[in-house]
Copies of this chain bind each other. A is one copy, B any other.
Amino acid sequence: MSTQLISAREGIITEQMRIVAKKECRTPESIMNEVAAGTIVIPANINHSQITPIGIGKSLYTKINANIGNSTMSSCPKEELKKLHTALKYGADTAMDLSTGANINEIRGTIIANSPAPIGTVPVYEALSRVEKSEDLNDELILDVIKGQAEQGVDYMTIHAGLLIAHVPMAKKRMLRIVSRGGSILAKWMQFHQRENLFYTNFDKILEICKQHDVTLSLGDGLRPGCLADASDEAQFAELKVLGELVVRCREAGVQVMVEGPGHVPFNEIEMNMKEEEKMCHGAPFYILGPIVIDCAPGYDHITSAIGATMGAFHGAAMLCYVTPKEHLGLPNAEDVRNGVIAYKIAAHAADVALKKPGARKRDDEISQARAKFDWEKQFDLSLDPERARSMRAEALAETNSEEQAKEGETGNYCTMCGPDFCSMRISSEL
């Protein structure tokens, strides 16, 4: 019974650390040292046999997560598997199964069995699905759910243990109160029972289970702001302080830990948020949701949040949880997953390039060289979404004035944006 963290502290370089080192162009020793320090986590449950391990930490390439999973209103195992495959195809590094509807266990089992990427969950969802109402949650039930999921092979779990009963009045002052599903459920439970958060009071027992299967804890931000008006407020930072204390307890117990972050945050407050987390949570990898930088663009929140995510990663976030265009509107389908993943690949890559991570710009230089040579096929191959690039060029060619032009354009040294006579690439190649 060991974890990556315990091994690292003992000076042992595990197979997982070696794989991460290779992927990240780093030495196994440097990975081991950062795992020991807690600035890198490698979420890899000992029961997730298909896993290809990845490392999450600000010194590594920025990772992205795709949330999938059904709701009580829609979707089935087959549809969720399709979303998983879409997410992995376009480059998600991890996926979270956030199912709250029917067949929770079956969907999770199918996803874990089919995923080489680490899988995360939010155990309170399954717990709630097993009772009539949120008031019925109890100590035994949540530990039973966590144990069951750990045995099933879940690599990391979001636990909302930092939202305490003392924080509830702070949340009530907000414009949007609590927008985290887990956070709202727990707040209601605490208020009803007038008892402290049961994830907090059972934290040592949770750590025991996590240690046994090397489940990485992802400390959930139940009080993340749900609109600009609530950003960076008293409630948010009161919870973050508790998360920092829990980070210490995780590490003492030999359990790997990362911390989740906001939410909706104005662009100018993102840097401060990243720095505060790093300080208050002792360098634990920061796993942020967006943040969304304006509230008024439903239908485009993959964009509003990719802007925030780039800024967040640039200032130290280690993993970005995607937001799809359906955010605030409905459950994403496979096409929404695709759009969300690509927007976040862009954000992660933009930050990695800006931070000059080793080799980060190679792909950009290669596609630019292909552009100079009018090598369309190579440009498509090097694109984050080759099908989209290909279909857009085809669409533009189909809209040309004549079939002859379209045919010529297909192989020609120009595109329909400028046409042959005004193609700057062509003209300047003649200089």
Q: Mark A residues whose CB is within 8 Å of B.
A: 71-75, 100-101, 125, 128, 134, 168, 171-172, 175-181, 183-185, 187-188, 191, 226-229, 266-269, 293-300, 302-304, 306-307, 310-311, 314, 325-333, 342-343, 345-347, 349-351, 353-356, 361, 363-365, 367-369, 371-372, 379-380, 382-385, 388-389, 391-393, 395-397, 399-401, 405, 409, 415-425, 427-431
Distance of A108 Cα from B380 Cα, bound (Å) = 34
Distance of A259 Cα from B277 Cα, bound (Å) = 39
CB distance from A265 to the nearest CB of B (A): 10
Q: Which 5 A-B pairs have CB atoms at the shortest separation, nearest pair first?
A: A330-B396, A227-B368, A267-B354, A299-B388, A295-B364
Checking B294, B329, B383 against A353 with a beta-carbon cut-off of 8 angstroms, the contacting residue is B294
Cβ B176 vs Cβ A419 within 8 A = no
The chain B residue sitting closest to A414, CB to CB, is: B73
What are 26 A-B contacts defined by CB distance under 8 Å? Answer: A74-B405, A134-B427, A175-B365, A176-B425, A178-B427, A179-B425, A181-B418, A227-B365, A228-B353, A229-B361, A267-B314, A267-B351, A267-B354, A293-B346, A293-B353, A293-B354, A295-B367, A297-B349, A297-B383, A298-B389, A300-B388, A303-B303, A303-B346, A328-B379, A329-B392, A330-B417
Cβ A417 vs Cβ B71 within 8 A = yes
Distance of A269 Cα from B354 Cα, bound (Å) = 8
Cβ A350 vs Cβ B181 within 8 A = no
Cβ A385 vs Cβ B297 within 8 A = yes
Cβ A266 vs Cβ B354 within 8 A = yes
With a cutoff of 8 Å between Cβ atoms, the chain B residues found around residue A364 in the complex are 227-229, 294-296
Cβ B100 vs Cβ A421 within 8 A = yes
Given A295-B364, A296-B363, A354-B268, are A178 and B419 neighbors across the interface (CB < 8 Å)? no
Cβ A372 vs Cβ B176 within 8 A = yes
Checking B227, B310, B424 against A178 with a beta-carbon cut-off of 8 angstroms, the contacting residue is B424
Checking B179, B328, B415 against A428 with a beta-carbon cut-off of 8 angstroms, the contacting residue is B179
Distance of A178 Cα from B269 Cα, bound (Å) = 37
CB distance from A247 to the nearest CB of B (A): 24
Distance of A180 Cα from B423 Cα, bound (Å) = 9
Cβ B267 vs Cβ A187 within 8 A = no
Given A179-B428, A228-B365, A300-B385; 10 other pairs, CB 8 A cutoff? A73-B419, A74-B405, A74-B416, A176-B428, A177-B425, A229-B364, A300-B343, A329-B393, A329-B417, A330-B393
Cβ A384 vs Cβ B297 within 8 A = yes
Distance of A52 Cα from B134 Cα, bound (Å) = 56
Distance of A88 Cα from B75 Cα, bound (Å) = 38
Cβ A329 vs Cβ B385 within 8 A = no
CB distance from A424 to the nearest CB of B (A): 4
With a cutoff of 8 Å between Cβ atoms, the chain B residues found around residue A269 in the complex are 354
Checking B178, B228, B350, B383 against A293 with a beta-carbon cut-off of 8 angstroms, the contacting residue is B350
With a cutoff of 8 Å between Cβ atoms, the chain B residues found around residue A427 in the complex are 134, 178, 181, 184-185, 187-188
Cβ A74 vs Cβ B399 within 8 A = yes
Given A73-B400, A179-B428, A421-B72, are A392 and B325 neighbors across the interface (CB < 8 Å)? yes
Cβ B421 vs Cβ A298 within 8 A = no
Checking B345, B354, B417, B421 against A331 with a beta-carbon cut-off of 8 angstroms, the contacting residue is B417
With a cutoff of 8 Å between Cβ atoms, the chain B residues found around residue A134 in the complex are 427
Cβ A128 vs Cβ B333 within 8 A = no
Cβ A428 vs Cβ B177 within 8 A = yes
Checking B293, B368, B409 against A73 with a beta-carbon cut-off of 8 angstroms, the contacting residue is B409
CB distance from A50 to the nearest CB of B (A): 28
Cβ A396 vs Cβ B331 within 8 A = yes
Find the residue from A296, A343, A365, A418 having the highest chain B CB count within 10 A: A296
Given A178-B428, A266-B353, A364-B229, are A326 and B417 neighbors across the interface (CB < 8 Å)? yes
With a cutoff of 8 Å between Cβ atoms, the chain B residues found around residue A372 in the complex are 175-177
With a cutoff of 8 Å between Cβ atoms, the chain B residues found around residue A180 in the complex are 424
The chain B residue sitting closest to A391, CB to CB, is: B299
With a cutoff of 8 Å between Cβ atoms, the chain B residues found around residue A367 in the complex are 295-296, 298
With a cutoff of 8 Å between Cβ atoms, the chain B residues found around residue A178 in the complex are 424, 427-428, 431
